[in-house]
Structure 1
Amino acid sequence: MSISLSSLTPREAISDTLYRCLLGLDTNDLPMFKSAWLAEDPDVSIAVGDTVTLGFDNITEAVFKRIGALDTTHFTTNIRIDLKDGSDKASLTSYTLAQHYRPGEGHNPEGQQLLTGGLYYVDLEKDKGDGLWKVKKWTIKFIWSEGDMSIVGR
């Protein structure tokens, strides 16, 4: 899969950051996941509830290695983007639904699952190196969940 897509408008390129991250998780593709993050920035962070993870190596351990190995599908919709003309910083919000199964159990209709719904709040910056928009700070607010939280290690 190609990380960089041609002919995207600035707003599409910002949305594509979120899509790259989620696609990387759902396909267990670390290069795709990493392409969505300001991985070299020591202040890059993700917050899930009260837990804040700082630094890309820690995000890889806490998020990618735990979720990427699962059978998952992440959906995001109602994306709203705040981008000032000519700026290299933006923010977005979106709704999310995510279905999680233990590895290899996604096709098992009797398998335990976890379905979550919530909101994403993301601050992004345009990377001067490769020109891609990337996550600086991501806050996930879960509104509800159904199923077995132990699937994601909680």
Structure 2
Amino acid sequence: MSHPQSLPSLSDREAITDTVHRALLGFDRNDVPLFNSAFIAAQERMLFSMNEKEIHGLAAVRSQLLDFVGPMDTTHMISNVRIELKEGAETAKLNCYALAQHCPAGTGRDGAGKKYLAASEYWIDVVKEGGDWRIEKWVMKVIWTQGDVEVMQRPS
């Protein structure tokens, strides 16, 4: 089942949160168009930082993260969402917690299979482009992990 790239009738705060949901669903479903819809049009300006390691540009984020995580069986969930948005503004900041479960492709439903769970905090800057909210900067700090770290190792 596919997910739409935009949902009508959302408030700005709901649409900002939905921007993050689109990116995370893009990871979980390995859906490149949905993933891309969450990010600014000037893709080279996009910045993703994970534990202070910076990835510049959406193409690099796709090749370094989505191409690896996308084929896995994953679920990314956010909670404790807080949004800083001034009335009428075209920019906003979102902060939240995230839990991300990772399993090798095709093994997610295997209760005894390898799994890797990561809890993180996200700080995300969004901008409004053409009526849609899009991610410009995403800072991720892993707080704790649990499980088999080999799940997250790229094949050599």
User: Which TM-score tier does this pair reach, normalised by the shorter chain?
Assistant: over 0.9
Structure-to-structure mapping, 1:30-45, within 5 angstroms: 30-45=32-47
- Structure 1 counterpart of 2:151: 151
> Who is 1:109 aligned against?
111
Partners in 1 of 2:101 and 2:120 — Cα distance? 12
Q: Identify which of 71, 96, 99 aligns with 1:69.
A: 71
Q: Could you give the per-residue CA deviations for residues 31-61 of structure 1, whole angstroms, max 9, x where no partner exists?
A: 0011001142422110011210000100101
Among candidates 70, 79, 82, match of residue 81 of structure 2: 79
Counterpart position of 1:3: 5
> What is the match of residue 15 of structure 1?
17
Gapped runs of 5+ residues in structure 2? none
TM-score normalised to the size of structure 1?
Answer: 0.95
The whole-number CA distance in structure 2 between the counterparts of 1:39 and 1:110 is 42
CA contact (8 A) 2:43 2:59 kept: no
Kindly tell me the number of residue pairs found equivalent between the two proteins: 152
| 1:75-114 superposed Cα distances (whole Å, 9 cap, x missing partner) | 1011000011111100000011110000011011111110
Q: Which residue identity lines up with residue 62 of structure 2 in the other structure?
A: T
Q: Tell me the C-alpha RMSD between the 2 structures.
A: 1.1
Q: Of the candidates 41, 56, 59, which is equivalent to residue 57 of structure 1?
A: 59
Letter aligned with residue 127 of structure 2? E
Q: CA deviation at 1:147?
A: 1.3
**1:98 alignment partner in structure 2:** 100
What is the percent sequence identity of the aligned residues? 38
**Does the Cα contact within 8 Å between 1:39 and 1:56 map onto a contact in 2?**
no
User: How far did 1:149 drift?
Assistant: 2.2
TM-score normalized with structure 2 length: 0.93
Counterparts of 1:80 and 1:150, CA distance in 2: 33
